[in-house]
Amino acid sequence: MVYLWNQIFYRPILNVLIFFYNTIAVRDFGLAIILVTLLIRLVLYPFFHKGTKHQMMLQRLQPKIKKIQETHKNDRTKQSEALMELYKEHGVNPFLGILLLIIQLPIMIALFWVVRTGLGSGQIAGLYPFVAQPAAINPLFLGIINLAKPSIILIGLAAIAQYAQARLAIYRNPDPSVQLSPAEKMAQQMAFVGPILTILIFYGLPAAIGLYWLVTSAFSIVQQVIVNRHLREKFGN
């Protein structure tokens, strides 16, 4: 299991990071992490785009979901069948968002171990033959922030970016008379809870992890804007 994790996550991220560091990142560790993050998000873009779209669709379907729950409130089997039929009709997978969060976890763990153990003094173990061994790794980002140590600045910016993305991901029904469903209320609460969790989780971790989360949140903002525009064109609101 450890061998597979090493080969699938740790070594590829380490090698891409060092490759970028040696080449287009002009030996700026922070720029190398930004490039790695963008590469990861571009590779996973179809999955994250689909997941974001599904989450927004679920919010728009809340009135129909609520109606099904009320109609079949005494029969959980029929309620589940009706909900699955609704999801199938609109091509929605309610579990896709959770799956995408799970995908991010091993990537962050791998990046953490790359920064924590892979970039120490001396030879870097695990490099592919075609990736040059750097003489040394300078952990500074733009010559200012040491990415090997915690940075409250990057954590704060990551929390702000996550809040902005969460607010964009909340569907606002144009009809003010429609009451918010429990799922919609939870989405609004998570817009505040998410950034707080970001600060609590990343506080004390190397700033490289905070930079990764900041860039991936900024990427998610752009992606969310694209999805929102597409759904407005489709549904008219």
Residue count of the chain: 237
Q: Which of 151, 131, 130 is nearest to 139 (CA)?
A: 151
- pLDDT > 60? residue 50: yes
Reported as a single tens digit per residue, the pLDDT across 63-79 is 777 788 788 777 778 87
* Per-residue confidence band for 183, with pLDDT thresholds at 50, 70 and 90: low
Residue 139 sits at the vertex; the CA angle it makes with 135 and 144, to the nearest 5 degrees, is 130
State the pLDDT at residue 232. 74
State the pLDDT at residue 236. 60
Q: DSSP state, 122?
A: S
What's the mean pLDDT in 44-56? 78
* Per-residue confidence band for 161, with pLDDT thresholds at 50, 70 and 90: very high
State the pLDDT at residue 226. 85
Q: What is the pTM of this model?
A: 0.81
Domain boundaries, the chain: 2-235
The long-range contacts involving 122-126, CB below 8 angstroms and separated by at least 24 positions, are: 124/14, 124/18, 126/6, 126/10, 126/11, 126/14, 126/15
What's the mean pLDDT in 89-101? 73
